[in-house]
């Protein structure tokens, strides 16, 4: 029997699948997401492509269940237990504003209202020593509230627990014994790092989504088992690694951003395959444009992120999002033409969807200019209304005194320039020159805009991976088991106690090994990567510097000064440096099961037609290619449109393309 | 095209409009990325703007809202002093004179003219707070009485001329700061930001050509001006006034009055500060330039707050302030704490406009940065330490909602409080309490936000400085709402003796002393009788209002 490696990316509208058999053949699938019970959609998609889910040898999926519970505020009522006297640090939320001209500014709405924040008498000093022991009577009061009011989740965040978690541990033991079945999350388990507000915000998020994520994973397990799939269920996590469903139930927060990171990991694989160390990955969909970077073959990770203004201390692949997509609406303000930020979304959607939208969008402009055909979406299962697009465009062109064609081109030019501006700003922030990068475009709309975006940024090479519309799911199959651990480690660099540092690293390694063992990773597949967060004394923010257990402190310092120079443009080797945190990435290598792409003979030429496509105000006859019919690495010149099930790639005049060894479309500027 | 200018299509215009804003963001990113001082890369105490050849804003990015439109004024003032030909290719000009730039001497403005094919086409400008410019005290003095005590004072000065550094000037700067290397680093970060703006503007000119960029610029300014005039015309004509006062100038005891009159006439707004205090001995003075910026910020809070600022903005606003007043200070007035007066000016502007714009205004907020600072020697490390903290407070309620609790004041930029865990690690003191100050917001149909309580216990001896304001004019309510509570600071010595103070300079205190600072609440909006009982009950459950106050003020009993 064939065994498949299968990934599922459960998005808001569609669930995408990638199936790989042992010979390396790949198929994709797409079914509507079933938000009430996402397992249904997963089973629908599996049944559509497999004889039985029993054929699955390896299964990984990305889920938005936790994220949606948060976004729709459908999580569990959570009580937050904090140190008496300073519990309002949670509600004060650091007291800053993110809009400077807004008199009626409101802070982001917290998951736990102030009345559900309970003060517990206990106090540790800055060094972790006990000033006031844990008052267990205060815990009894909480226990009574939980029982009386049917609360299902508790979050605990005590001051300085990142230095000494004893009080949090004791509180957990007392609460767990009295309240079986209630989910309990500790700040010291989520992140052993300082900053009580950020830790409290993270631990409440974990507690808030825990019951929802647990129910979802239980249901999925039960339904897959019933259908004959008894292999381990893997879940994509925000750090770009995967974990088993058992670990996911213990750390629901790490599933939060499990969808889009697949694309970033896919880019890492492309970087390895094609020997291009630096990639700029862009994912353009209906409502948003996501940008991710691969630098020197590595994904870019942050140790903290935020959702709707709520900070989260967790390891996460950096993905920058702006609100420009196919659905962005063009409109007039004070006699000027604007595009976005308002979006037609998928309901009513662009005018050409024929669902009642009357305002022109980016997708309507693409259709008007021939870049999209009326049968381009969902492999032709969805047909577009060119007339409706034309009417919407004309309606806006008239008051501006422009021709319809000028307006349609203008909408694309403005949206492309906006996306390019955002890409430029992000690369400037990181001290990166985008001209040294290759652009990778995916998502439904990415390949249509890719070449023009590259042109704006002076990028000469563009890669369109196979199955661009399900690239995130493909990336999930390229991932390893990964779990990140951290511990605070404050020490001036000139007086680090090497023994203390070795002990801290050992303890991290022990935690990492224990987790990988739980994940059934064989010892020879375990890889541990240490890094240290360092900074100049006086700074708040740190840089993470990789090191090994044998590294001398002087080497770590040298690497820090170098990294500072690259990131910030200057280094001050004479200034004192301090260690802040130590981190460990525990990786369990998974078999990739990947083989080289092979061309297969086709009865038909890849050219399947021709149509007029407008470039630089000129309608030119472009050849239409079917991506599945290429049989070799011939080079073709633009103008061209390459169609496939999940996306449409546009190659303007002046560019040429060919398939590479891995089946990616490589587009290059002609000299 | 509606009424655009020949030469720029709506498409090019919109691409350039977005690009100008984006260039300013890139300049800001370049500045923050390469700054040496945490005040800039963490505190974001900076501002950048890309200007056209006449000094009008093309795009700006601000960390500090109070710097609104100020960079433009600095370039135009420099041109008035020396003529536009003063700006030559490859020059870098800097200035910090309070009477020219308006703010305290620590804020340094850098101007780089941008040339393209031999022609001046614009300016890259930035302002950043330098850590130390050589005043009598490190960083800011609380008790300065003359500008000469506050640091080096520079009129517009070329530090690069025709692309060549003036080593004598750089050397002078380095030698006159306690943190000379950082100062030079920050100057170069500002220059790097300017170069980013220069490259990007030149690239736009290469791509679109001079005439097109000029035409688009005109059209962009025209769009902004049309929107602004429309918004101002919607305000009923009339004369609107308000007054209030600062507690004192930090040196003397007398209150410092601020008085303003706003005349709305069609599409013009005229602000007159006649009747405000003559310049004071203490340092609550500012140059007129910064008064204009503060008026622009107040204006911006009410008129099109969501729109970007450019050369079409603020044409409807005129500002007048009598010479030798706190708002138009002349040599040798001290200016270190200039922002306290401006914060009050902004609040009063909103108060004056309340009858005309009841839905846009809010009641007053707690009003000032409420700074506590102490220093001494940390017995854990035997090293000197210096704590400087601003305190959050309550914001004013408005026509459709409550004021926000514990939020940083208007004129501050990207402030975040220091987490207790970091504080206790860094400094020999404990934070015993950090809490929202129950019942401190003004009552009303919509409740003013509550202030904040922060209680410090010293573990070592220390010298304490305080700058707490607005006890004489606490945050007023609007439309029948009540005022918020004012600030309060209580110092309890190890012997139990209590003392109340709001401003003090370097007061010696013993280890074990507990300092409790409480910031004020925001004003309420509308009569208390209209507040829904459910909202009162919710406030009591959330401990924003005590059961006693709920009964006494709102007549709602909560058990």
| Shortest distance, CA A580 to any CA of chain B (angstroms) | 11
The CATH number of the domain holding residue A551 is: 3.30.1490
CATH code for the domain in which residue A159 is found? 3.40.1360
Restricting to A residues 404-443, those with a Cβ less than 8 Å away from any Cβ of B are 406, 409-410, 413-414, 417-418, 421-422, 424-425, 428-429, 431
Q: pLDDT category, A14, cuts 50, 70, 90?
A: confident
**Do A180 and A102 belong to one domain?**
yes
The whole-angstrom separation of Cα B309 and Cα B71 is 12
Cα separations (Å) of B432 from A123, B384, B517? 10, 22, 12
For a pLDDT cut of 70, what percent of chain A falls above it?
Answer: 99
Which residues of chain A lie closer than 8 angstroms to B430, CB-CB? 125
Nearest to A102 among B219, B305, B543 (CB): B305
| A102–chain B Cβ distance below 8 A for any pair | yes
Question: In the listed set B177, B206, B226, which residue is the last one of a domain according to the structure?
Answer: B226
Instruction: Give tens-digit pLDDT for A510-537.
Output: 999 999 999 889 999 999 999 999 998 8
- Tell me the ipTM for this assembly: 0.93
Q: Is residue B502 part of a domain?
A: yes
Total of domains in chain B: 2
Q: Closest partner residue to B33 among A86, A195, A569, by Cβ?
A: A569
Same domain, residue pair B369 and B221: no
Nearest Cβ partner for B34 among A400, A541, A568: A568
pLDDT digits (tens, 9 = 90+) for A24-65: 788 999 898 888 899 999 999 999 999 999 999 999 999 989
- Please identify, among A476, A500, A519, the residue that sits at the C-terminal boundary of a domain: A476
Residue A198 near chain B (CB below 8 Å)? yes
Q: Tell whether A366 and A400 lie within a shared domain.
A: yes
Joined tokens for residue A628: 């599945």
- Rounded CA-CA distance B289/B109 in Å is 13
- In eight-state DSSP terms, residue B393 is B
Residues of chain A with C-beta less than 8 angstroms from the C-beta of B431: 86
Residues A439 and A462: beta-carbon distance below 8 Å: yes
A304 and A423, same domain (yes or no):
yes
Q: Which residues make beta-bridge pairs with B502?
A: none
Tokens 């699938």 belong to residue = A29
Q: Which residues constitute the domain of residue A652?
A: 607-669
Q: Is the dihedral of CA A103, B394, B348, B278 positive or negative?
A: negative
Q: Decide the pairing of beta strands A78-83 and A117-120.
A: parallel
Q: How many CB pairs under 8 A join A and B?
A: 204
Q: Could you tell me whether strands A640-644 and A618-626 are parallel, antiparallel, or unpaired per DSSP bridges? A: parallel
pLDDT for position A98: 87
Q: Please provide the DSSP assignment of A560-575 as one string.
A: HHHHHHHHHS---TTS
Which chain B residue's Cα is nearest to A542? B42
Specify whether A93 is located in the same domain as A207. yes
Please say whether the beta carbons of A158 and A83 come within 8 A: yes
What's the full length of chain A, in residues?
671
Mean pLDDT, residues A467-472 taken together: 93
Are A460 and A510 found together in one domain?
no
Peptide bond into A313 cis (omega under 30): no
Residue B280 in tokens: 């004071």
Strand A153-157 and strand A14-20: pairing? unpaired
Contact A194 B422 (CB under 8 A): yes
CB burial readout B330-357, b (16+ within 10 A) else e: eeebbbbbbbbbbbbbbbbbbbbbbebb
A464: CB partners within 8 A, 6+ apart:
A440, A441, A442, A447, A450, A642, A647, A649, A664, A665, A667
**How many folded domains does chain A comprise?**
5
Q: In whole angstroms, what is the distance from residue B355 CA to residue B241 CA?
A: 10
Treating both helix axes as pointing N-terminal to C-terminal, what angle do B288-302 and B338-353 enclose, rounded to 10 degrees? 40
Range B3-37 burial, b when 16+ CB lie within 10 A, else e = ebbebbbbbbbbbbbbbbbbbbbbbbbbbbbbbbb
CA separation for the pair B375, B365 (Å, rounded) = 29
A156 and A78 in a common domain: yes
Q: Give, in order, the Cα–Cα distances in Å from B368 to each of A238, A491, A598.
A: 41, 36, 69
Question: What local confidence, expressed as pLDDT, does residue A158 receive?
Answer: 98
Of A146-150, A410-414, A540-544, A554-558, minimum mean pLDDT range:
A540-544
| DSSP conformation letters of A75-122 | S--EEEEEETT-TTHHHHGGG--S-TT-TT--PPPPSS-GGGEEEE--
End position of a domain, from candidates B179, B198, B226: B226
DSSP helix/strand/coil, B64: coil
Question: Is A94 in the B-facing interface, judged by CB distances under 8 Å?
Answer: yes
Contact B433 A406 (CB under 8 A): no
Q: Find, in chain B, the residue whose alpha carbon is nearest to that of A492.
A: B381
Tokens of A366: 């693409």
* CA quadruple A199, A201, A207, A210: dihedral, nearest 10: -100
Q: Give the bridge partners for B457, in sequence order.
A: B430, B514
Average pLDDT along chain A: 93
Show which of A425, A442, A476 is a domain's final residue: A476
Q: Report the range of poorest mean pLDDT among A547-551, A591-595, B160-164.
A: A591-595
Q: Do B3 and A334 touch (CB under 8 A)?
A: no
The residue of B2, B4, B5, B11 whose CB has the most chain A CBs within 10 angstroms, and thus the best one to mutate to test that interface, is B11
Residue B26 lies in a domain: yes
Residue B344 domain flag: no
Question: What pLDDT, on the 0 to 100 scale, is given for residue B3?
Answer: 38
The radius of gyration computed from the CA coordinates of chain B, to the nearest angstrom, equals 24
Read off the CATH number of the domain in which A456 is found: 3.30.420.40
Model-wide pTM > 0.90? yes
Q: Show the CA angle centred on residue A485, arms to residues A479 and A487, nearest 5°.
A: 160
Domain assignment present for residue B352? The answer is no
Asked if residue A487 and residue A344 are part of one domain, the reply reads: no
Position A597 in a domain: no
Q: Which residues of A touch B10 (CB under 8 A)?
A: 335-337, 400, 402, 410
Q: Are strands A320-322 and A316-317 parallel, antiparallel or unpaired?
A: unpaired
Residue B318 lies inside a defined structural domain of this protein? no
Whether A357 is in a domain gets the answer yes
HSE toward the beta carbon, residue A61, CA cutoff 13 A: 27
Classify burial at A358, counting beta carbons within 10 Å of its beta carbon; exposed 0-12, middle 13-18, buried 19 or more.
Answer: exposed
A101 and A167 share one domain: yes
Residue with tokens 């003032």: B77
Residue A298: the pLDDT is 92
Q: Find chain A residues with C-beta within 8 A of B354's C-beta.
A: none
Using CA coordinates, name the residue in chain A closest to B223: A334
Range of the domain at B407: 362-559
For residue A457, pLDDT beyond 80: yes
B18-65 pLDDT, tens digit per residue, is 999 999 999 998 898 888 877 787 677 889 999 999 999 999 988 888
**Whether residue A276 sits in one domain with residue A316:** yes
Let me know whether A444 and A425 are in one domain.
Answer: yes
| Residues of chain B falling short of pLDDT 70 | 1-7, 42, 139
Is position A40 within any domain? no
Of A457, A476, A495, the position where a domain reaches its end is A476
Bridge-based pairing state of the strands B107-116 and B119-129: antiparallel
Q: How far A539 CA lies from chain B's nearest CA (Å)?
A: 6
**Contact between B469 and B421 (Cβ < 8 Å):** no
pLDDT tens digits along A206-226:
999 999 999 999 999 999 999
Structure tokens at A632: 């070799």
Taking CA–CA distances from B34, the nearest residue in chain A reads: A568
The nearest alpha carbon in chain A to B365 belongs to A103
Question: Would B1 be classed as within a structural domain?
Answer: no
> Chain B contact for A535, CB < 8 A?
no
Q: Which residues pair with A373 in a beta bridge?
A: none
Name the pLDDT band for A311 (thresholds 50, 70, 90).
very high
Answer yes or no: is A496 within a domain.
yes
Domain-embedded: residue B306: no
Report the largest interatomic distance among the alpha carbons of chain B, rounded to a whole angstrom: 79
Chain A closest-CA separation from residue B143 CA (Å): 26
Determine, yes or no, domain membership for A175.
yes
Angle at the Cα of A215 (from A213 to A217), degrees rounded to 5? 70
| CB neighbour class for A435 (10 Å; exposed up to 12, middle 13-18, buried from 19) | exposed
> What span, in angstroms and rounded, lies between the C-alpha atoms of B557 and B546?
10
Residue B94 domain-assigned?
yes
């Amino acid at each position: 029997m064939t065994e498949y490696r299968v990934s599922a990316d459960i998005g808001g509208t569609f669930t995408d699948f990638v199936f790989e058999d042992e010979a390396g053949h790949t198929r994709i699938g797409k079914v509507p997401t079933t938000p009430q019970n996402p397992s249904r959609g997963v089973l629908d998609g599996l049944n559509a492509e497999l004889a039985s889910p029993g054929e699955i040898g390896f299964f990984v999926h990305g889920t938005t269940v936790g994220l949606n519970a948060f976004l729709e505020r459908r999580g569990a009522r959570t009580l937050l237990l904090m140190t008496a006297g300073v519990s309002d640090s949670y509600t004060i939320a650091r007291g800053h504003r993110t809009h400077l001209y807004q008199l009626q500014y409101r802070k982001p709405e917290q998951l736990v209202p102030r009345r559900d924040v309970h003060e517990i008498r206990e106090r540790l000093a800055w060094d972790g020593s006990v000033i006031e022991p844990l008052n267990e009577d205060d815990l009894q009061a909480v226990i009574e509230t939980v029982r009386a009011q049917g609360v299902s989740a508790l979050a605990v965040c005590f001051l300085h627990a990142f230095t000494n978690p004893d009080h949090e541990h004791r509180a957990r033991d007392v609460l767990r014994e009295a309240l079986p079945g209630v989910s309990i999350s500790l700040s010291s388990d989520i992140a052993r790092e300082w900053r009580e507000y950020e830790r409290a915000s993270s631990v409440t998020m974990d507690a808030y989504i825990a019951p929802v994520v647990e129910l979802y994973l239980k249901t999925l397990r039960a339904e897959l088992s019933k259908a004959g799939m008894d292999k381990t269920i893997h879940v994509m996590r925000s750090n770009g690694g995967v974990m088993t469903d058992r670990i996911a139930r213990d750390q629901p927060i790490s599933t939060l951003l499990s969808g889009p990171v697949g694309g970033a990991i896919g880019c890492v694989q492309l970087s390895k395959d094609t020997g291009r160390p630096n990639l700029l990955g862009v994912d353009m969909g209906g409502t948003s444009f996501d940008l991710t970077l691969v630098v020197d073959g590595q994904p870019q990770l942050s140790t903290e992120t935020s959702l709707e203004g709520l900070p989260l201390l967790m390891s996460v692949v950096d993905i920058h999002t702006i609100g420009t997509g196919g659905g962005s609406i063009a409109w007039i303000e004070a006699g000027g033409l604007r595009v976005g930020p308002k979006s037609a979304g998928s309901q009513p959607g662009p005018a050409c969807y024929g669902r009642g939208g009357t305002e022109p969008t980016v997708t309507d402009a693409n259709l008007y200019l021939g870049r999209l055909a009326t049968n381009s979406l969902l492999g032709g299962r969805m047909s577009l209304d060119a007339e409706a697009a034309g009417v919407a465009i004309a309606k806006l062109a008239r008051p501006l005194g422009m021709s319809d064609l000028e307006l349609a081109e203008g909408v694309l030019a403005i949206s492309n320039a906006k996306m390019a501006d955002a890409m430029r700003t992000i690369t400037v922030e990181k001290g990166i020159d985008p001209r040294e990068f290759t652009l990778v475009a995916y998502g439904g709309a990415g390949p249509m805009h890719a070449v023009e975006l590259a042109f704006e940024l002076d990028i000469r090479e563009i890669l369109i991976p196979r199955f661009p519309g399900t690239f995130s799911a493909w990336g999930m199959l390229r991932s390893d088991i990964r779990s990140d651990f951290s511990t605070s480690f404050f020490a001036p660099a000139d007086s680090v106690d090497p023994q203390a540092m070795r002990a801290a690293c050992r303890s991290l390694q022990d935690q990492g090994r224990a987790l990988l063992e739980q994940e059934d990773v064989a010892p020879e597949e375990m890889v541990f990567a240490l890094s240290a967060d360092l900074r100049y004394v006086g700074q708040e923010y740190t840089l993470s510097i990789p090191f090994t257990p044998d590294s001398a402190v002087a080497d770590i310092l040298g690497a820090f000064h170098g990294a500072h120079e690259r990131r910030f443009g200057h280094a001050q080797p004479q200034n004192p440096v301090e260690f802040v945190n130590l981190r460990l990435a525990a990786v369990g290598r998974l078999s990739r099961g990947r083989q080289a792409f092979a061309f297969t003979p086709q009865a038909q030429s890849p050219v399947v037609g021709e149509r007029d496509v407008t470039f630089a105000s000129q309608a030119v006859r472009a050849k239409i290619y079917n991506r599945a019919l290429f049989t070799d690495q011939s080079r073709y010149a633009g103008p061209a449109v390459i169609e496939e099930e999940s996306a449409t790639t546009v190659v303007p005049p002046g560019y040429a393309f060919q398939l590479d060894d891995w089946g990616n479309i490589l587009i290059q500027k002609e000299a | 095209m509606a009424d655009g200018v020949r030469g720029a299509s709506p498409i090019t215009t919109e691409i350039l409009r977005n690009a100008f804003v984006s260039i300013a963001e890139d300049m800001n990113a370049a500045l923050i990325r390469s700054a040496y001082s945490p005040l800039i890369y963490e505190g974001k105490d900076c501002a950048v703007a890309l200007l056209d050849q006449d000094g009008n804003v093309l795009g700006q990015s601000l960390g500090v809202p109070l710097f609104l439109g100020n960079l433009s004024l600095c370039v135009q003032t420099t041109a008035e002093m020396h003529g536009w030909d003063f700006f030559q290719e490859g020059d870098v000009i800097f200035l910090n004179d309070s009477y020219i730039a308006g703010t305290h001497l620590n804020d340094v403005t850098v101007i780089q003219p941008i040339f393209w094919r031999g022609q001046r086409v614009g300016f890259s400008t930035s302002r950043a707070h330098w850590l130390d410019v050589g005043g009598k005290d490190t960083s800011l003095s609380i008790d300065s009485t003359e500008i000469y005590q506050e640091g080096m004072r520079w009129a517009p000065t070329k530090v690069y001329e025709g692309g060549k550094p003036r080593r004598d000037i750089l050397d002078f700067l380095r030698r006159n700061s306690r943190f000379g290397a950082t100062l030079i680093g920050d100057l170069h970060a500002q220059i790097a930001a300017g170069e980013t703006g220069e490259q990007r503007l030149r690239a736009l000119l290469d791509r679109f050509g001079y005439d097109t960029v000029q035409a688009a610029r005109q059209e962009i300014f025209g769009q902004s001006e049309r929107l602004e005039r429309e918004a101002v015309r919607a305000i009923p004509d009339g004369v609107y006034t308000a007054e209030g006062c600062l507690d004192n100038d930090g040196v003397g005891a007398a209150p410092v009055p601020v008085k303003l009159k706003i005349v709305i006439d069609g599409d013009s707004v005229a602000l007159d500060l006649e009747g405000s205090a003559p310049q004071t001995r203490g340092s609550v003075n500012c140059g007129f330039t910064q008064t204009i910026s503060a008026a622009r910020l107040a204006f911006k809070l009410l008129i099109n707050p969501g729109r970007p600022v450019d050369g079409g903005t603020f044409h409807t606003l005129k500002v007048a302030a009598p010479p030798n007043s706190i708002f138009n200070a002349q040599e040798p007035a001290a200016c270190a704490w200039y922002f306290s007066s401006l914060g009050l000016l902004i609040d009063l502007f909103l108060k004056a406009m309340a009858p005309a714009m009841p839905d846009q205004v809010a009641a007053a907020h707690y009003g000032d940065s409420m700074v506590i600072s102490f220093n001494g020697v940390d017995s854990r490390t035997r090293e000197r330490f210096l704590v400087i903290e601003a305190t959050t407070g309550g914001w004013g309620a408005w026509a459709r909602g409550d004021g926000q609790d514990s939020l940083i004041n208007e004129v501050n930029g990207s402030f975040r409080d220091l987490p207790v865990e970091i504080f206790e690690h860094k400094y020999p003191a404990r934070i015993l309490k950090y809490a929202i100050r129950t019942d401190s917001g003004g009552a009303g149909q919509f409740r003013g936000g509550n202030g904040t309580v922060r209680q410090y216990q010293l573990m070592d001896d220390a010298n304490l400085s305080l700058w707490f304001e607005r006890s004489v004019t606490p945050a007023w309510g609007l439309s029948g709402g009540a005022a918020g509570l004012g600030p309060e600071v209580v110092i309890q010595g190890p012997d139990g003796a209590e003392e109340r103070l709001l401003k003090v300079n370097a007061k010696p205190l013993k280890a074990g002393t507990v300092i409790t600072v409480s910031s004020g609440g925001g004003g309420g909006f509308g009569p208390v009788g209209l507040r829904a009982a459910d909202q009162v009950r919710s406030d009591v459950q959330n401990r924003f209002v005590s059961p006693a106050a709920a009964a006494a003020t709102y007549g709602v009993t909560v058990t």
